[in-house]
Each structure stands twice: as C-alpha cells, then as structure tokens.
C-alpha cells in the first residue's frame, strides 16, 4: 500500500516523567523527502521510533491515507511499509553482511528451511547499488569500517521494500562519495512513490535533498520550511532549531594566523605502525590547529591513537618540545600534557551509567591530582565550573550521562580534560552525530584553547569542520602522509581531490 498522505496528530511521549515529545503534529503528501532537524534531545529520534513502532506513544494518533492506524510494534509498522534505518546500528557484529540484511525478514523455502540463495542475491543486489562491489556480502560486520557498517544498516532497511523509509543520521559516518550514492538512491525511491524521512544535523545535506524540513525543539515541532515555496536557505531553518532569531552557523573560515615565531610542540619522524602507518613525518606548532583529512580508513584513527599513546609505534621517533618520548600507554601521553577525545563517546569516552560529576572528576582521581581524603566541596566547585564553561544542558552535576543528549555527552568528554589545561589536544572526529548548536559550542572551546596556546590535532570526517577550524590540513592515504594543505588552499575541492589523489590542472 503506497503512502499518499501521512499525518501524526498531537503525539506525546514521556520517559519517567521527562517530556520527549509534546503535542507534535505534522503531515505530508507523498512521495516526498522530509527532513527532520533539531538539537540532540529535541525529539526527532523519539518521533521516528514512534512512527515505526519501536516506542509506544502516550497520546495522539497516526493517519495513513486518511485512515487511523495502530502502530505499537515494528510488526505493525511493517504492515504499512514503514521501516527505520537506525543511527545506533542494529547489526550483529559476528554475522556476515548478507545475514544481517536478511535477519528478521528471511526468505523461506518452507516452514523449516531458509531460501539462502534468494536471500544472498537480494542482499547482493541492494548492496551493489551503494557500494559498487567495495565490500562482499560474506564479510563479517566486525571487520567493516564504520561507513560500510552504516551502509549495511541502510541496505537492511532498503531490502524490506519500504513505502516510508526513515533514515536516522544516515550520513554521519559516510564519505562524500557514499553520500552521493545514497542521495541518488533516495531520489530513485521517490520516483517510485516512496517517501523518506531524513534525520540529520548536516544542514547542507538537508537543504540539498529535502522537499520540506520539519524543525524540532525541546520536544515540540517548532515549525517547518517548504522548499517548494521558500528558497533553500539554512537561515530559514536555524532560528527554528535554536529558538534564536538571527542565530547563524559558525561556518566562516577563521583568519590566517602566523606561527613562524612559535615553538614546535610535537614532532613525528619516520613513524610506522605495522601496516597502518608508514613513514609519518610532521611537526605542529604551539597553538596551531592541524587537521587530518582523507578518505575514512586511511590510518587517521591510528595516527590519533599513536599521538595519544593508545597504541605504541613500531618504529620511528616522537618528540615533545624537542625531547624524544616513548608512549606505551595513554598515561605516558597524559603525563606529557597530551589529552585525547576519542571517536566513540559512549564506548570509549564516558561511563554512561554514572553521573556528570563522576565522569568529570574520575580523571583527577586516576591521575592522583588530589589527596587521599577527597574535598567534595572543592570537587563540586571544579565540576560546576566545567559545566558552566561547556554550557552543559541541563547544567546538573548529578545527571546520569546516558540521559543526556549526544551533544551534551560530548561536552562532558571535552570537559573532563579542560581542568588540566592541555598542552596538546588530540580529537578523533569529535562532532560526529552532534547537533548544530553543540558543534558550534565545542569548536568555540577548541578555538579558545588554541588561542591560549594549546596545540590541537583534529581528525574529522567533515570537510566543513576542517575548512572552518584548521590552520593546516594533512591528507593520509593508505597509511601515508601524502599531502599537506596550507591555510590559503584549504577548501572543499582541494580536500576532495587530495583525498582521491586527483591531480589538479
């Protein structure tokens, strides 16, 4: 059954008394590509989960083609062809690509036997459109890069032949060329009568692909922008998301800075890490923001981990302010003033079931920054100052971290190191999956640290973040440093061509 009209009317949802969705009503006529934007915790994902039956609504109702429908489970949603591709992947790491795609809607030859051949063919055909043979249906999920895991999640949803496809942050882990393939597929689906709900923090993508954009704020629908009636201008959307008229993205390239008289803080000479990094030579000055770019999986993660002492180098030398150092564990790097913001905050950066206070203060205890008898008044003051500095919302030290939005969780990760006045801050894709305003807040902190003398090494999968924040960018390809881009040449076209090893005219 094609979905010609979709209406959500007065949807409400609370979790343990906390409002997640409050009286949200929206509707559209299909086929249409509908963007959902808003800060982390604004209600976008909760709304999506209600639509596909993963979360039950407290009040309100949904109409499809003018008829009330009961959607209380994913099976209910499946009857109407509503399918969600998750932001937090639903894949099983130890199963293969085709097994994950097939899981939950298996083709059967009979009651007791699966039609394996048909399932493999289905998986191959859908996967081929988005990967062009770059991965095999027999690869295990655990061996795939984050971008290909995300693609498998999307393909799993596509293989169910949806009438309404909900994509929750589908491009957060994707390379630009993978995004282009996905957008091509989305347009093909629309041509076939499929509607898409596209949830994203990437405003440029929202503007590029969507027909209409619904903006969520604090659990409410703050408004919408129909691009059939309005120009494709982010300044029409940002005030709806932030609630601040005239608020604009901090997406202007900063002024060129001179580091010729600054001392070299960190230097790598002929650094190798097994097959992951090869003959890396680089140096970074005091207060400089060095960007690391390139296609995903070219050694950037390993370079950040080497700098942070997470993995020891195989050969080569690392110097801090002219003195050779050897790192065998993160503590060795920390003792030299190097602090690391990891790429996966929920598994690598936070104690999710602990409070904000515990997460902020725990490093002090581990590093023996305080006496054996704790001065709680002092520690409360330290944590409150950090909370204020990173503009945490809500500003409560006793809040359990898992109850915070993604952007605010990342602020806690940042905040735990600010108290130590880092000499060098190493960032591994710090704004991935973070909302517009939180991203601005985080990079304002980075720039403030840089202006105060902290050397920053930033790996980002977003070219926009590299362009707007970096003084220089190095490009890695197959574990080698293949190009260094100076400030004046940092632009999207240069980053793309350098990543692909395309020679300019």
Q: Give residue-wise pLDDT tens across range 343-366.
A: 788 888 899 999 999 999 988 887
Tens digits of residue pLDDT in 447-497: 999 999 999 999 998 888 999 999 999 999 989 999 999 999 999 889 988
Q: Which one has a higher pLDDT value, 230 or 504? A: 230
Both 475 and 458 in a single domain? Answer: yes
Residues 268-277 have a mean pLDDT of 94
Q: Domain containing 277 — which CATH number?
A: 3.40.50.300
Q: Which residue do the tokens 């503009």 mark?
A: 391
Q: Cα–chain-centroid distance for residue 321? A: 33
Answer yes or no: is 48 within a domain.
yes
Mapped onto helix, strand or coil, the DSSP state of residue 284 is: strand
pLDDT at 255: 83
User: Residue 419's closest CA among 369, 366, 376?
Assistant: 369
Answer yes or no: is 393 within a domain.
yes
Q: How far is CA 313 from CA 1, 249, 303, 426, 483, in A?
A: 57, 39, 10, 17, 21
* pLDDT at residue 65 is higher than 50: yes
Answer yes or no: is 249 within a domain.
no
Both 106 and 127 in a single domain? Answer: yes
pLDDT at 49: 92
Answer yes or no: is 387 within a domain.
yes
Answer yes or no: is 256 within a domain.
no
Q: What is the H or E stretch that residue 121 is in?
A: helix 116-131
User: Residue 49's closest CA among 13, 19, 1, 22?
Assistant: 13
What average pLDDT does the chain have?
90
Tens digits of residue pLDDT in 376-434: 898 999 999 999 999 888 889 999 998 887 888 999 999 999 989 999 999 999 988 77
Tens digits of residue pLDDT in 77-135: 999 999 999 877 789 999 999 999 999 888 777 667 888 999 999 999 999 999 989 99
Both 202 and 314 in a single domain? Answer: no
Both 56 and 154 in a single domain? Answer: yes
- Domain coverage including residue 222: 5-242
Q: Distance between CA 445 and CA 365 in Å, rounded?
A: 24
Give the number of domains in the chain: 3
Both 265 and 147 in a single domain? Answer: no
Both 321 and 469 in a single domain? Answer: yes
Q: Distance between CA 198 and CA 337 in Å, rounded?
A: 41
Q: How far is CA 92 from CA 100, 102, 146, 194, in A?
A: 7, 12, 13, 27
Both 31 and 102 in a single domain? Answer: yes
Both 119 and 221 in a single domain? Answer: yes
3-state SS, 183-249, equals: HHHHHHHHHCCCEEEEECCCHHHHHHHCCEEEEEECCEEEEEEECCCCCCCHHHCHHHHHCCCCCCC
Instruction: Report whether 101 contacts 159 (CB < 8 A).
Output: yes
Both 388 and 430 in a single domain? Answer: no
Tens digits of residue pLDDT in 304-355: 999 999 999 999 999 999 999 999 999 999 999 999 998 788 888 899 999 9
pLDDT at 505: 45
Both 223 and 364 in a single domain? Answer: no
Tens digits of residue pLDDT in 232-264: 998 899 889 878 665 555 556 778 899 999 999
**Would you state the torsion angle of the CA atoms of residues 434, 435, 436, 439, taken in this order, to the nearest 10 degrees?**
-30
What Rg, from alpha-carbon coordinates, does the chain have?
Answer: 24
Stated pTM of the model? 0.71
Q: What is the H or E stretch that residue 459 is in?
A: strand 455-459
pLDDT at 86: 86
pLDDT at 372: 66
421, 453, 473 — which closes off a domain? 421
Instruction: Report whether 100 contacts 46 (CB < 8 A).
Output: no
Q: Which residue do the tokens 């062809």 mark?
A: 81
404, 421, 438 — which closes off a domain? 421
pLDDT at 261: 93
213, 242, 271 — which closes off a domain? 242
Instruction: Report whether 197 contacts 165 (CB < 8 A).
Output: yes
Answer yes or no: is 247 within a domain.
no
Q: Cα–chain-centroid distance for residue 276? A: 23
Both 440 and 391 in a single domain? Answer: no
Both 330 and 371 in a single domain? Answer: no
pLDDT at 404: 84
Residue 158 in tokens: 């596509």
Answer yes or no: is 251 within a domain.
no
Question: What is the DSSP-derived secondary structure letter of residue 462?
Answer: -
Answer yes or no: is 248 within a domain.
no
């Amino acid at each position: 059954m094609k979905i010609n009209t979709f209406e959500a009317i007065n949807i409400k949802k609370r979790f343990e008394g906390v409002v997640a969705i409050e009286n949200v009503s929206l509707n559209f006529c299909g086929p249409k590509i509908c963007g959902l934007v808003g800060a982390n915790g604004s209600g976008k994902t909760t709304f999506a989960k209600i639509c596909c039956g993963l979360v039950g609504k407290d009040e309100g109702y949904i109409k499809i083609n003018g008829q009330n429908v009961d959607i209380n489970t994913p099976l209910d949603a499946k009857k109407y062809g509503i399918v969600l591709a998750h932001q937090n992947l639903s894949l099983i790491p130890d199963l293969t690509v085709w097994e994950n795609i097939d899981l939950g809607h298996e083709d059967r030859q009979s009651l007791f036997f699966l039609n394996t051949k048909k399932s493999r063919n289905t998986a191959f055909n859908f996967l081929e459109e988005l990967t062009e043979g770059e991965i095999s249906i027999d690869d295990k999920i655990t061996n795939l890069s984050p971008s290909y895991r995300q693609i498998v999640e999307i393909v799993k949803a596509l293989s169910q032949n949806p009438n309404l496809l909900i994509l929750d942050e589908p491009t957060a882990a994707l390379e630009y060329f993978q995004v282009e393939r996905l957008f091509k597929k989305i347009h093909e689906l629309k041509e076939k009568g499929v509607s898409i709900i596209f949830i994203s923090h990437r405003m440029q993508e929202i503007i590029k692909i969507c027909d209409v954009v619904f903006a969520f704020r604090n659990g409410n629908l703050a408004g919408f922008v129909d691009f059939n009636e309005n120009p494709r201008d982010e300044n029409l959307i940002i005030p709806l998301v932030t609630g601040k008229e005239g608020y604009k993205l901090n997406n202007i390239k900063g002024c060129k800075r001179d580091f010729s008289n600054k001392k070299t803080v960190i230097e790598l000479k002929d650094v190798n890490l097994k097959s992951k990094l090869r003959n890396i030579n680089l140096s970074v000055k005091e207060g400089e923001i060095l960007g690391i770019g390139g296609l995903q999986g070219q050694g950037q993660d390993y370079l950040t981990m080497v700098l942070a002492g997470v993995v020891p180098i195989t050969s080569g030398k690392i110097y801090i302010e002219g003195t050779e150092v050897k790192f065998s564990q993160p503590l060795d790097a920390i003792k030299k003033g190097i602090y690391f913001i990891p790429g996966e905050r929920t598994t690598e950066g936070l104690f999710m079931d602990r409070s904000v206070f515990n997460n902020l203060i725990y490093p002090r205890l581990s590093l023996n920054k305080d006496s054996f008898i704790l001065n709680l008044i002092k520690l409360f003051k330290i944590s409150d100052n950090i909370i204020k500095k990173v503009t945490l919302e809500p500003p409560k030290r006793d809040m359990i971290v898992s109850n915070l939005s993604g952007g605010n969780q990342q602020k806690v990760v940042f905040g735990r190191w600010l108290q130590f006045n880092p000499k060098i801050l190493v960032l591994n894709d710090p704004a991935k999956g973070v909302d517009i305003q939180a991203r601005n807040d985080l990079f304002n902190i980075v720039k403030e640290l840089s202006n105060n003398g902290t050397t920053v090494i930033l790996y980002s999968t977003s070219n926009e973040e590299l362009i707007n924040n970096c003084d220089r960018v190095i490009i890695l390809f197959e574990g080698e440093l293949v190009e260094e881009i100076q400030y004046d040449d940092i632009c999207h076209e240069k980053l793309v061509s350098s990543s692909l090893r395309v020679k300019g005219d």
